[in-house]
Structure 1
Amino acid sequence: MPTTPDKTAATPILPAGLGFRMPAEFAPHEACWMLWPQRPDTWRYGAKPAQQAFVAVATAIAESETVFVGVNDEQYENARNQLPAHVRVVELSSNDAWMRDVGPTFLTHPDGRLALVDWEFNAWGGLKGGLYFPWDKDRRIRTKIAEMLGIPRFEAPVVLEGGAIHVDGEGTLLTTEECLLNPNRNPELSKTEMEGVLADYLGVEKVIWLPRGCHLDETDGHVDNLCCFVAPGEVALSWCDDEADPQHAISREALDVLQNATDARGRTFKVHKLPQPGPLCIAEEEASGIDRLSSSHPRQPGDRMAGSYVNFYIGNAVVVMPLLDPTRDDQAREILQRLFPEKQVIGVPAREILLGGGNIHCITQQQPQP
């Protein structure tokens, strides 16, 4: 099987045409992939507090599936000593630690084969709004993982991050117009053309376009911070009741779209509201420990962060959720436990991850069982 589409053929060989598709996150996993944080202009105090949070996330997920953590060589011993022995540490160089976005989108085939999609990556906007430069090491991660696993790699001709999409495994994909139609990603593609790419590479049949992502989300509105599938026909949506908060209008818009849409199987959506934490802002002492570089995204005291309980990870036997706000954590945990009664909901203190610009879902990428 070719590892890339055959550009010389009249009809390129694309994953969906070969029978591959992207399964839902709530389908069984073979493993979870993460990266180790160390970038000093993203993570404060040399990433030491963030590393503790990543260890907690990896440990929780490893309760029910193998966890791989990719590490730059100079951090290998540090990571190996901090992570539990059953978490597998591999040398896998990166520019930062957002595996959801720089890692592969895995595909499965009915005959038991595994493959991956290698999207283009430009650090969430390239030189026109991107969050750091360079991103050369991040760009090679998908190729390296394909080599490590010995599976086909399909190169996709579009810029797309894993956090920009969420699927139900039955033909439906969630995304936002703010992200996938942003001119700093693929300015030459129309909405219809983007839908064609998603169908060709992921095997989806219907795309649900939400207007915007969470307020001030620096990824240009990734859907995984706003809304995600928890079961076929069911989604969790970050919700804000305060009409004076900009997030209220965003969540309301998304709810209107979902209530007036059907999925690929013709089902109407059942929407479960998760309360928004906070609002959460960067404290003075949290901003002071970050290196200031011209090539990276500034983080200033008082800046509001795009905190969301929707940014959780669905494991085989666990759901790992961020703990972000003592006044809302328990309510969010109770809702998630109702949505996943057969799984253990584990809360992990995740403010350090949020300070870097994302959360638990952003730093993880599931490898499905073939």
Structure 2
Amino acid sequence: MTHPADDGFRLPPDWAPHSRCWMAWPVRSEAWGEHMGPAREAVSEVATAIARFEPVTMIAKPTKVAEVSLLTSSGVASFSLPQDDSWLRDFGPSFVLSGTGHVAGVNWRWNAWGGRFTEIDGDIQIPEKLLEQLSMRRYQAPLVLEGSAVMTDGEGTLIANERILLDPKRNPGHDRDQVEAILKTYLGVESVIWLAAAIEGDPAGGRLDTMLCFVKPGVVLVQTTSDKSDANAAAYADTAERLKAARDAKGRSLQLIEIEQPRPRQSDEGKRLPLAYTSLYLANNGVIIPAFEAPQDDRAFAAIAKLFPDRQPVQLLASDIVYGGGGFRPMTLPQPAGLPAG
């Protein structure tokens, strides 16, 4: 049996051209609670905004397909599948791209963020059913991996969070060397930069997009806080320190661009919400930027728009989405442009 790297496949960066954006409708009441209705409206706004730049397909359980059609624009298609959650980048396949322009999928093991939920049978099946629908080659990886735990620059460098990948509830018995070897084999990368922090309120315990995002090879946007007593200050500082000490696959040091975090906000239960401007979505010729009704929103919009001058910036409220535990990036799964590998 061959592996993606053996066959010339690698994980593309978020800014690579897309043939489609896949999303999944909010359905888990334990996560959203009374915010389910507003969250669905917010997700429909995100899908409609992305559809201005690229096709969007929303995965929804059969009983919710009509609701998706009602709330989203005509540019958003629906795909009926059993589902349990909406963070598709975490439980969906990792699309990998070859030098010949062919696309394949990697199916990872899934246990709902280390056993946070038990109703996961629908989500476990989604990668296989999705790739089957696309008539796309499938590789089965021997590891629990959530797409939000990794980011690539498209030039051989992967940033990964050991809080997720080395979590004994996710990958018991695996050490860093073993996991790194699997990442290189299945994602086609040459160098892994390991981080180890998580911001307060992140239910996944280390989604990278709550702290950073690649802007381009060698350049990383990092969230920070000017309040050194803030609960997230240590996580931001540790992340920046590790990135400054790292070298990418080309031997370059990384340029870090700082962006101030949104004003802290609590859930109805008094828990800190994982607000992050770095949880954005790079659509074809567009960038979807989150806002949180915070004083920092305007500056964040201007800063991010400046970083992506060739993309049309669109800012949308993400507050209701974050109540479910994440931002725009884990909710979206871009399919790279290319022909399905058979």
Q: TM-score range by the shorter chain?
A: over 0.9
The whole-number CA distance in structure 1 between the counterparts of 2:30 and 2:203 is 15
The equivalent of 1:201 in structure 2 is 186
Residue number among 324, 331, 334 corresponding to 1:363 in the alignment? 331
The whole-number CA distance in structure 1 between the counterparts of 2:53 and 2:163 is 35
The whole-number CA distance in structure 2 between the counterparts of 1:345 and 1:93 is 33
The equivalent of 2:155 in structure 1 is 170
Q: Do the aligned partners of 2:35 and 2:320 also contact (CA within 8 Å) in 1?
A: no
Residue number among 45, 48, 62 corresponding to 1:59 in the alignment? 48
Q: Do the aligned partners of 1:24 and 1:167 also contact (CA within 8 Å) in 2?
A: yes
Deviation at 1:246, TM superposition (A): 2.3
The equivalent of 1:318 in structure 2 is 286
Q: How does 1:205-220 map to 2 (within 5 A)?
A: 205-220=190-205
Q: Which amino acid aligns with 2:43?
A: F
The equivalent of 1:42 in structure 2 is 31
**Aligned partner of residue 141 in structure 2, secondary structure:** strand
Q: Do the aligned partners of 2:13 and 2:153 also contact (CA within 8 Å) in 1?
A: yes
**Aligned partner of residue 17 in structure 1, secondary structure:** coil
Q: Which amino acid aligns with 1:368?
A: P
Deviation at 1:106, TM superposition (A): 0.2
The whole-number CA distance in structure 2 between the counterparts of 1:134 and 1:44 is 16
The equivalent of 2:209 in structure 1 is 224
**Aligned partner of residue 258 in structure 1, secondary structure:** helix
Residue number among 260, 263, 266 corresponding to 1:275 in the alignment? 260
The whole-number CA distance in structure 1 between the counterparts of 2:186 and 2:147 is 13
Deviation track 1:125-164 (CA, whole Å, cap 9, x = no partner) reads: 12xxx2x212110001100111111001111010011101
Q: Which amino acid aligns with 1:349?
A: L
Q: How does 1:239-258 map to 2 (within 5 A)?
A: 239-258=224-243
From the superposition, tell whether residues 73 and 104 of structure 1 become closer, same or farther in structure 2 (CA, over 3 Å). same
Deviation at 1:23, TM superposition (A): 0.7
Q: Do the aligned partners of 1:69 and 1:90 also contact (CA within 8 Å) in 2?
A: yes
**Aligned partner of residue 42 in structure 1, secondary structure:** helix
Q: Do the aligned partners of 1:32 and 1:366 also contact (CA within 8 Å) in 2?
A: yes
- RMSD between superposed Cα atoms in Å: 1.1
The equivalent of 1:334 in structure 2 is 302
Give unmatched runs, 5+ long, in structure 1: 1-5, 7-12, 284-300
Percent identity of the aligned residues? Answer: 37
Q: Do the aligned partners of 2:203 and 2:325 also contact (CA within 8 Å) in 1?
A: yes
Q: Which amino acid aligns with 1:20?
A: F
From the superposition, tell whether residues 81 and 216 of structure 1 become closer, same or farther in structure 2 (CA, over 3 Å). closer
The yes-or-no answer on 1:30 pairing with 2:19 is yes
Deviation track 1:332-369 (CA, whole Å, cap 9, x = no partner) reads: 11110111011111111111110000011111011111
Deviation at 1:46, TM superposition (A): 7.3
The equivalent of 2:67 in structure 1 is 78
The yes-or-no answer on 1:17 pairing with 2:6 is yes
Q: How does 1:123-138 map to 2 (within 5 A)?
A: 123-126=112-115, 130=116, 132-138=117-123
Q: TM-score, normalised by structure 2?
A: 0.96
Deviation track 1:55-104 (CA, whole Å, cap 9, x = no partner) reads: 11001111111101011111111111111112111112210111111111
Q: Do the aligned partners of 1:166 and 1:173 also contact (CA within 8 Å) in 2?
A: yes
Q: Do the aligned partners of 2:96 and 2:104 also contact (CA within 8 Å) in 1?
A: yes
The whole-number CA distance in structure 2 between the counterparts of 1:148 and 1:339 is 36
The whole-number CA distance in structure 2 between the counterparts of 1:216 and 1:90 is 31
Residue number among 138, 146, 156 corresponding to 1:161 in the alignment? 146
The equivalent of 1:120 in structure 2 is 109
The whole-number CA distance in structure 1 between the counterparts of 2:35 and 2:43 is 14
The whole-number CA distance in structure 2 between the counterparts of 1:95 and 1:27 is 29
Q: 4+ runs of 1 displaced by more than 6 Å?
A: none
Give unmatched runs, 5+ long, in structure 2: none
Q: TM-score, normalised by structure 1?
A: 0.89
Q: Do the aligned partners of 2:293 and 2:317 also contact (CA within 8 Å) in 1?
A: no
The whole-number CA distance in structure 2 between the counterparts of 1:19 and 1:253 is 34
Deviation at 1:166, TM superposition (A): 0.5
Q: How many residues align?
A: 338
